[in-house]
């Protein structure tokens, strides 16, 4: 996979050098680069923002430098894909690649005419992820979808955001996906991109040492993860649940499943309401009944006698 990040603060992305993501880049499993839109400006101040039309507070990111930066990474990705497909024995490169690179070599000459975004005819169009509080909420499901892509581009807006014409123009050549971490506002997209890149790349084969661990995590299968424990068996008079010391794998599996169900019902009732009751067994339904969730006529009902509105989480 190739991941490009557009940001006017490349240093913000340096944590991607660390841990498993950095190792994946070094091992050739992942290509990751950061491009600064300031490298595509034509004035001596390297201006990338201006005042908003219609008035209002704050500044808006100008469309031209961001579009030029996007064009450069799309071209670089297309060239790399074409080169890879031309090899007789395609292998992941073994040479170390810096995990985060500010890549001025991908820039066009200042003042050069804007060229249209072109995608190699043998590769799918890249996905442009635009972090925005106005976007679709990023979930584990979306992380899996993005992990299946060949080329992801993240545009880290700042201030009041990027001129909407940048996004409109990009839609003609790439697949644009505005995504939000949640119902709150950050100073810029870099923090969101750090989270999204980690969530996506850890799903790529070869990044996580033990892929089986992915199957037991929170949100996998629509439930939160069960509580975990390690040695010592008793710590400050608090003991590990006896079932985990029993060695009875069937009972341990059932205990963990029960913990997932009860924890999800308590902390994220909206996730329970999203489950298909037909996919749950009697033991599952019994645990959920103890937490106030019941199935009537194939639909969820909460204690209190009211049915959960379809598509609307009942948080009462």
137 with 15, same domain? yes
Print the domain residue range for 27: 2-213
The pLDDT tens digits of the residues spanning 242-290 come to: 999 999 999 999 999 999 999 999 999 999 999 999 999 999 999 999 9
Query: Cα(63)–Cα(3) distance, rounded to whole angstroms?
Result: 21
Q: Which two tokens mark 178? A: 């505005």
Q: Which two tokens mark 257? A: 């499943």
Q: Which two tokens mark 4? A: 């490009």
Q: What is the structure's pLDDT at 18?
A: 87
In a domain, residue 108? The reply is yes
pTM over 0.85: no
257 with 113, same domain? no
Q: What is the structure's pLDDT at 287?
A: 98
In a domain, residue 313? The reply is no
184 with 295, same domain? no
Q: Report angle CA 224, 281, 212 to the nearest 5 degrees.
A: 45
Average pLDDT value for residue range 296-302: 94
- Given a contact cutoff of 8 angstroms between Cβ atoms, the answer to whether 45 and 71 are in contact is no
In a domain, residue 132? The reply is yes
Query: Cα(267)–Cα(270) distance, rounded to whole angstroms?
Result: 9
120 with 58, same domain? yes
169 with 204, same domain? yes
In a domain, residue 218? The reply is no
The edge-to-edge listing of strands for the beta sheet with 293-296 is 293-296, 299-302, 306-307
Does the pLDDT value for residue 92 go beyond 60?
no
Number of separate domains in the chain: 2
Average pLDDT value for residue range 182-206: 94
Does the pLDDT value for residue 105 go beyond 50?
no
Query: Cα(310)–Cα(173) distance, rounded to whole angstroms?
Result: 37
In a domain, residue 165? The reply is yes
**Distance set, CA 50 to CA 59, 62, 151, 154, 302 (Å):** 5, 7, 30, 21, 51
């Amino acid at each position: 996979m190739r991941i490009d990040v557009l940001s006017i603060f490349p240093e913000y992305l340096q944590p991607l050098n660390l841990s498993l993501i950095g190792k994946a880049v070094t091992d050739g499993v992942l290509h990751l680069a950061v491009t600064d839109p300031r490298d595509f400006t034509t004035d001596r101040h390297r201006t990338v923002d201006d005042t908003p039309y219609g008035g209002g507070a704050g500044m808006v990111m100008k469309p031209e430098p961001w579009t030029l930066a996007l064009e450069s990474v799309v071209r670089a990705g297309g060239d790399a894909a074409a080169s890879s497909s031309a090899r007789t024995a395609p292998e992941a490169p073994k040479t170390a690649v810096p995990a985060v690179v500010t890549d001025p070599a991908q820039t066009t000459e200042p003042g050069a005419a804007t060229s249209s975004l072109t995608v190699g005819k043998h590769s799918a169009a890249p996905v442009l992820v635009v972090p925005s509080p106005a976007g679709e909420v990023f979930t584990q499901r979306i992380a899996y979808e993005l992990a299946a892509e060949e080329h992801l581009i993240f545009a880290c807006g700042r201030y009041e955001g990027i001129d909407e014409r940048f996004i409109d123009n990009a839609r003609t050549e790439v697949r644009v996906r505005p995504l939000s971490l949640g119902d709150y506002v950050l100073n810029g997209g870099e923090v969101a991109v750090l989270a999204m890149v980690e969530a996506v790349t850890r799903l790529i084969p070869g990044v996580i040492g033990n892929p089986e661990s992915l199957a037991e995590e929170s949100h996998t299968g629509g439930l939160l993860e069960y509580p975990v424990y390690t040695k010592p068996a008793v710590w400050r008079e608090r003991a590990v649940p006896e079932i985990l010391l029993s060695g009875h794998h069937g009972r341990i599996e059932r205990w963990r499943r029960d913990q997932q169900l009860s924890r999800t019902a308590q902390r994220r009732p909206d996730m329970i309401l999203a489950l298909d009751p037909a996919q749950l067994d009697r033991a599952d339904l019994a645990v959920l009944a103890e937490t106030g969730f019941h199935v009537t006529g194939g639909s969820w009902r909460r204690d209190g006698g009211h049915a959960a509105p379809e598509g609307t989480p009942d948080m009462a």
